[in-house]
Amino acid sequence: MPLTPSHLGPTLFLGLLLFSAVRLPTFLVANVIVDLELFLVLVFRLDYPLHGFFHSLLRGSIIAVILSLVMIKIDEKIQRIIRFFKLEQRFSRRSIWLASFSGVYLHIMLDSRLYTDITPFFPLDINPLYSGSMFAGFEIYGFCVNSLILEIGLYTYKQLKRKKTF
């Protein structure tokens, strides 16, 4: 999806739904970092596919590994920011690794339904997830918007529940 804002709906919803298993800040970054490549292609007008190297599960794993290592290193600093949103989590390297890989893979899977230039199962040069339907964009973007609405409800519920327990 162009420049990833659409990815935030499913990311936030799934991140809150799986809050005890995945590190939310890592999951958020993982879902948008894949499009850094797309951003660079657009900004520098590169003669390169928009959804190139990192839009595959195998090559996206490179980003997931690097992101995991970085997020483990800076986790304490990130927690200072996340406290503002009342979404503190216990530190777990496993949850960071899980968030990083699942976030990158979620991004690739969502994009694979929409774009022919993605080969999610590289080295296979096919995209069996590509919809080809003229309504695929409406389906995916609708899913993203609905996920954002559900996320707002889930976040509100968590905050109200949190206030009642203190």
Residue 30 pLDDT > 50: yes
Per residue in 85-122, pLDDT (tens digit) is 888 887 789 999 999 999 999 999 989 988 888 999 99
Q: At what angle do helices 8-17 and 93-112 cross, to 10 degrees?
A: 140
pTM of the model: 0.85
Identify the weakest region by mean pLDDT among 10-24, 26-40, 110-124, 152-166.
152-166
Please state the domain extents for the chain: 5-165
DSSP states along the chain: -TTSGGGHHHHHHHHHHTTTTS-HHHHHHHHHHTTHHHHHHHHTT-SS-TT-TTSSHHHHHHHHHHHHHHHHHHHHHHHHHHGGGT------HHHHHHHHHHHHHHHHHHHHTT-TT--TTTTS---TT----TTHHHHHHHHHHHHHHHHHHHHHHHHHHHHHH-
* Angle at CA of residue 57, ends 67 and 123, nearest 5°: 135
Which residue did the predictor score with more confidence, 90 or 1? 90
Highest mean pLDDT: which range of 34-38, 58-62, 84-88: 58-62
User: Mean pLDDT over all residues of the chain?
Assistant: 88
